[in-house]
Structure 1
Amino acid sequence: MTRARRLLAINNYFYRRGGAESVFLDHIDLFTAAGWEVVPFAMQHPANLPSAWSEYFVSEIEYGGTGGPLTKVRQAAKVIYSLEARRKIRALIGRAPPTIAHAHNVYHHISPSIFGALKAQGVPLVMTAHDLKLACPAYKMLSHGRVCERCHGGRIHNVLLRRCVKESIVVSGLVLLETLVHRSFGLYRNTIDRLIAPSRFYRDKLVEWGWDAGRVGYIPNSIDAKAYSPATHEGDYVVYAGRLAPEKGLATLVRAVALSHQRLVLAGSGPEEQTLRKLAGELGADVAFTGHLDRPALKRVIGEARALVLPSEWYENAPISVLEAYALGRPVIGTRIGGIPELIADGETGSLVEPGNAAMLAEALAGLASLPSSARAAMGATGRDWVAREFSSGNYRDRTMALYEALR
């Protein structure tokens, strides 16, 4: 190539807030290291990393935040279609014309108003589907804590009828209006050149819900296994690492821990913490709550566990926590739902159980605990080798680069 390649990297947040942000920021680092100039576009936020391009970031908006009626109306308008974001992206691409744009999460904050501006300038657009928002108005595809696909086939009114989002008629109504506007104007369908699904499950689900199979590619998440060192010491507990939320299946996990008389460490925070504390007390379950941990502490807790447990009861995509556990040489127990089964070789790198089945999960926990530590270490080593071969940062970069080249 004769001119420098410039990537416009787009995401609501510009700090490590969750799995999507980790993928976004690691993506930036990978392409910067590969010689690309990377220009970020995000929302202003006190926790953001420093950036020479922050003057172009859109004003902060907290979805569902507090404020008076006028403030809420303005926020609702920006959630649906942000004129500010469209104006600022135009100014940014005028100053730094990108070779390609790659979006991650944009809804509710930046909004897809920016995509038309990119299309008008002939900028190829790729978007990673970190959840199922491009299929279902309720991005987790959940209704009242259970997997729900009633909106399939265009029946999106169900999101309001069933109050699927936060069990609120107001918020669900706003999400329905947002979806109607976005679909009516083709703000996603008519502008995105390629969707990337990090799991085969998400790829197939998006196609099932109407996306053209030729526009949806599969590129798994990645991890640099060299940045993780397996621990020499193994503790006497299993660990869950992540948000303490209802769809994560943690009440089932606490019940399974009580049934199997195992120890559990819950590393994270979230709305379910008090409910889980109460449940653990009622059942006499041995559960330790650590709250949010920084990266070194989290690596240590996972690395010294007998196993990572992922008891999700929703359509998980491709959890980075599984790859991290393998990189630390630990096996994983997970549920057969969403993209999780793609990441666990049952009996080789861990075990799979049915979601919501406390007895089956308890049996898996007890079975793993009964093995010699060398057997668990062997499973973890198999997982680490798998990560190094199939989920390496180099593989992710090369697969993504090939997709970019195909669009230019």
Structure 2
Amino acid sequence: MRVLLVHNFYRLAGGEDSVVRDELSMLRANGIETDLFSVDSKDICSPLDQILTGLQVVYSLRARRALSRKIAEFAPDVIHIHNFFPLLSPSILDACRLANVPVVMTLHNFRILCPTGFLYGDARDRERSLRQSCWWTVRKRVYRSSVAATMTLAAMVEFHKWVGTWRQKVDRFIALSPSARDKFIEGGLPANRIIIKPNCVSRAGAFPNVNRQGALFVGRLDEQKGLPTLLQAWKNVDYPLKIVGEGPLADLVLQNTSSSVSYLGKVPREAVKSEMQAAKFLVLPSIGHEMFPVTVLEAFSCGLPVICSDLPSLHGLVEVGFTGLKFRPGDSNSLAEVVRHVVTQPTKLDDYGRNALRVYEEGYTPEANFKRLMDIYNDVLRVRSNPALAGAI
């Protein structure tokens, strides 16, 4: 089997980028002929680049032609799309269709349904785009606080809903959790084409013999990840916290460093694993939908328990009293209370960490992920070879 992965890397590297690299390595390690067609948002440098990119968000002829050339060169049996925004656009699906190659798409976020990406917003509007048009987001400037940028994204979403892109041009969608699958179905995607397959991460390797200490945050420094909640909570917590990552709220983090809070900035992936193997627990204070955070799996692979927001999207991943604890989303007092309580019970945290490692080994290793992914690819090829099976998916 020959598989072509397609991905638009982000300006600030995130979990999706890690998943693509890991799946590429995993497929090759298992003897699957795999190639990567990619672009990088770091190439959007000048104001002119931004304008040209904005003009092609809805449909990019350039990207469609480039992918067509890659398909002709590599001749894949399956094309697996991870992210097309902003440089590739949904136009790449037409390149796949013209070449008659089946498409699998991993739904890392909700951007095909809403410019917010993670259905982030106030409680009244959070899931509004699932039930009606998303033009309401323009007035609220949900994307980069810009009317023009939000309008461009809303145009992309509504145009491709209108022409039936997702119903007609994708053979199989991969949702990362049951709750995410439910949301996509509510948003109009065909239920019989959405398969649940969580992310995976590679094994962390041998653990150093250290006395674990301190809390750790790893992720993009923005509102959606709950940085203000985290920093406010730690004003009432006397326990060391390390913050790893980069993003628009980096200055806010720097302003709140103290004897308890240290900021490490962006660090290499291996260094992140070392920090996870040395910490007592990970904090995930997100306030919006989390699809299936790679950071949690990385923590589990390092035997690190997780204290996270009590979000529906995390219910099947972090189990209270087994692999971690939860607090009310956006409530700094609730987070502080949970942390103050748990740090007085270090042996419980050790138990949670051992459970987390066991959960990882049982379901989120590269071996388990490879089997699930190959089942999806083979099923797509089976249906393509016998269209009569499509209705029985």
TM-score w.r.t. length of structure 2: 0.90
Deviations 1:316-342 (A, max 9, x none): 111111111121111110111152222
CA contact (8 A) 2:131 2:186 kept: no
- Find out whether 1:67 has 2:41 as its counterpart: no
CA contact (8 A) 1:254 1:285 kept: no
Count residues with an aligned counterpart.
381
Aligned partner of 2:332 in structure 1 is 358
Aligned partner of 2:263 in structure 1 is 289
CA contact (8 A) 2:14 2:220 kept: no
2:2 to 6, 9, 13: 6
Deviations 1:215-261 (A, max 9, x none): 11100111233x33334223442010111111111221122222232
Aligned partner of 1:49 in structure 2 is none
CA contact (8 A) 1:341 1:352 kept: no
Letter in 1 for 2:46: T
2:358 to 372, 385, 404: 385
CA contact (8 A) 2:53 2:86 kept: no
Aligned partner of 1:405 in structure 2 is 378
Letter in 2 for 1:382: N
Distance of aligned partners of 1:349 and 1:237 in 2 relative to their CA distance in 1, 3 Å threshold: same
In 2, Cα distance between equivalents of 1:207 and 1:255: 36
Deviations 1:119-146 (A, max 9, x none): 2222110000111112223212223799
Letter in 1 for 2:109: D
* 1:147 positional shift: 6.7
Letter in 2 for 1:370: T
TM-score w.r.t. length of structure 1: 0.87
Tell me the C-alpha RMSD between the 2 structures: 2.2
Aligned partner of 2:126 in structure 1 is 148
* 1:16 positional shift: 9.4
- Find out whether 1:192 has 2:174 as its counterpart: no
In 1, Cα distance between equivalents of 2:205 and 2:240: 24
Q: How does 1:2-401 map to 2 (within 5 A)?
A: 5-13=1-9, 17-43=13-39, 60=43, 62=44, 66-68=46-48, 72-143=50-121, 148-225=126-203, 227-278=204-255, 280=256, 286-372=260-346, 374-401=347-374
In 2, Cα distance between equivalents of 1:197 and 1:167: 28
Aligned partner of 2:389 in structure 1 is none
Distance of aligned partners of 1:44 and 1:359 in 2 relative to their CA distance in 1, 3 Å threshold: closer
Distance of aligned partners of 1:9 and 1:179 in 2 relative to their CA distance in 1, 3 Å threshold: same
1:80 aligned counterpart, secondary structure = coil
In 2, Cα distance between equivalents of 1:355 and 1:270: 21
Letter in 1 for 2:273: K
Distance of aligned partners of 1:256 and 1:146 in 2 relative to their CA distance in 1, 3 Å threshold: farther
Distance of aligned partners of 1:25 and 1:145 in 2 relative to their CA distance in 1, 3 Å threshold: farther
Distance of aligned partners of 1:73 and 1:255 in 2 relative to their CA distance in 1, 3 Å threshold: closer
CA contact (8 A) 2:176 2:198 kept: yes
Any gaps of 5 or more consecutive residues in structure 1?
Answer: 47-59
CA contact (8 A) 2:63 2:92 kept: yes
Deviations 1:283-318 (A, max 9, x none): x77210111111232222221111000010010111
Distance of aligned partners of 1:162 and 1:309 in 2 relative to their CA distance in 1, 3 Å threshold: same
Any gaps of 5 or more consecutive residues in structure 2?
Answer: 382-393
CA contact (8 A) 2:107 2:173 kept: yes
In 1, Cα distance between equivalents of 2:374 and 2:12: 23
Letter in 2 for 1:103: I
Aligned partner of 1:54 in structure 2 is none
Distance of aligned partners of 1:97 and 1:375 in 2 relative to their CA distance in 1, 3 Å threshold: same
In 1, Cα distance between equivalents of 2:366 and 2:265: 29
Structure 1 stretch displaced more, 261-270 or 13-22: 13-22
CA contact (8 A) 2:16 2:108 kept: yes
Deviations 1:76-106 (A, max 9, x none): 2222211111112222222222111100001
- Seq. identity, %: 28
CA contact (8 A) 2:113 2:157 kept: no
In 2, Cα distance between equivalents of 1:30 and 1:276: 35
* 1:14 positional shift: 9.3
Distance of aligned partners of 1:186 and 1:405 in 2 relative to their CA distance in 1, 3 Å threshold: same
CA contact (8 A) 1:202 1:338 kept: no
* 1:355 positional shift: 0.5
In 1, Cα distance between equivalents of 2:294 and 2:211: 22
* 1:72 positional shift: 4.9
2:321 aligned counterpart, secondary structure = coil
In 2, Cα distance between equivalents of 1:127 and 1:167: 28
